[in-house]
Chain A
């Protein structure tokens, strides 16, 4: 009886490896339905974006973006400027009006592309997926100050994202926010 365990274990692993992409996609879809849509993450954004996906990038006070240094500039998906919110906590830009994205990385690239180069993204691809080091010309690795190191921190609907942008599952009306975090 127990002698059968060896072939069974090998077959189980092979089947799992073959089915892994299918299982992963199915689980992602299932998990996406549980991601709660936080209303408050849309606070301060144009009301017309309430049902759309938004990407915001906030720059630190010491290293503001040359084009977005007063308030937060609201940019539509087609690249046109909606307006500037000076009441926002911080300076930077939000790009909104997107729908239908389910994965973080394509959304990051498309949303930042809409700003005609102002928010260009630089990232490395490592064992754990893409690692974003630069947004809008600001490389977090080059920042110095009263901290050991800095990185682009990812927030998903106002919460720290548990996964990197490469593994992020999105649902409609999600707000992705990048800001500099330090350790």
Chain B
């Protein structure tokens, strides 16, 4: 018998493989969304969770390059803080348990992404103008979130060391903060528009925010 699972891949090859798998997942998820009848915000959150979880796991070889931060911001913008925080928790816990490693830092990641989701909800009127996504404003929030999230997670080292280690740790990590910010910019530039079109379709019918179609009530 040949052991076909025993093929050794170089890091680049396995990354390409992961990107291919992620593309299949995203394509399949987007196709399945088309079959949904009407508005279904909770199912949309499940779709975002699948996308966030698979994206974070499969892009793991690239340092700090993952779609979770942008997804959580957009969940905050479109569905409000509570659902964004829940989404953040589900993604962080699932990915850490499955692959990335679970520990005290998971709590800090949930808090970090939770805060990112809350800020998305807080700035939702500013980012979403009459149902139109203000891409540049979303990009600005995504870049800032990259830094803030990393710093919140960095605080977890205080469980093991004293405060004096924090400054060198944060300075050393600045390059990874930049990776995270640049990754977020990429995801906003290339994914936010298609994602927002789907999310607009699945808004809460009772949501006072974001109107899916511009209302022309003035005469």
Contact = CB atoms under 8 A, between A and B. Distances in A.
Partners in one complex: yes
Interface string B124-161: 00000000001110010000000000000000010011
A27 B170 CA distance: 10
B169 interface: yes
Interface in A1-59: 1-2, 5-6, 8-10, 12-13, 16, 20, 23-24, 27-28, 30-32, 34-36
Contacts of B178: 16, 23
B168 A159 contact: no
Interface stretch (B37-45, B75-83, B181-189, B201-209): B181-189
B165 interface: yes
A88 to B, nearest CB: 24
Interface of A: 1-2, 5-6, 8-10, 12-13, 16, 20, 23-24, 27-28, 30-32, 34-36, 127, 159-160, 162-163, 167, 169
A34 B139 contact: no
B168 A34 contact: yes
Given A8-B185, A13-B182, A16-B179, 14 more contacts: A2-B136, A5-B135, A5-B136, A5-B189, A9-B188, A10-B189, A13-B183, A16-B182, A23-B175, A31-B171, A31-B172, A34-B167, A34-B168, A127-B61
Interface of B: 11, 61, 134-136, 139, 157, 160-162, 164-165, 167-169, 171-172, 174-175, 178-179, 182-183, 185-186, 188-190, 193
A40 to B, nearest CB: 13
A93 to B, nearest CB: 26
B167 A1 contact: no
A181 to B, nearest CB: 13
A6 B171 contact: no
A159 B11 contact: no
14 contacts: A2-B135, A2-B136, A5-B139, A9-B182, A10-B186, A13-B182, A16-B179, A30-B171, A31-B168, A35-B168, A160-B161, A162-B160, A162-B161, A162-B169
A1 B193 CA distance: 13
Contact of B175 (A6, A8, A13, A24): A24
B168 A169 contact: yes
Contacts of A127: 11, 61
A104 to B, nearest CB: 13
Contacts of B135: 1-2, 5
Contacts of A23: 174-175, 178
B199 to A, nearest CB: 17
A159 B161 contact: yes
A73 to B, nearest CB: 29
A9 B189 contact: yes
Nearest to A22: B175
Contacts of A8: 185, 189
A26 B216 CA distance: 55
Which 4 interchain pairs have the tightest Cβ spacing? Answer: A2-B135, A9-B189, A31-B168, A5-B189
Given A23-B178, A159-B161, A160-B160, A9 B167 contact: no
Nearest to B172: A31
B149 to A, nearest CB: 17
Contacts of B11: 127
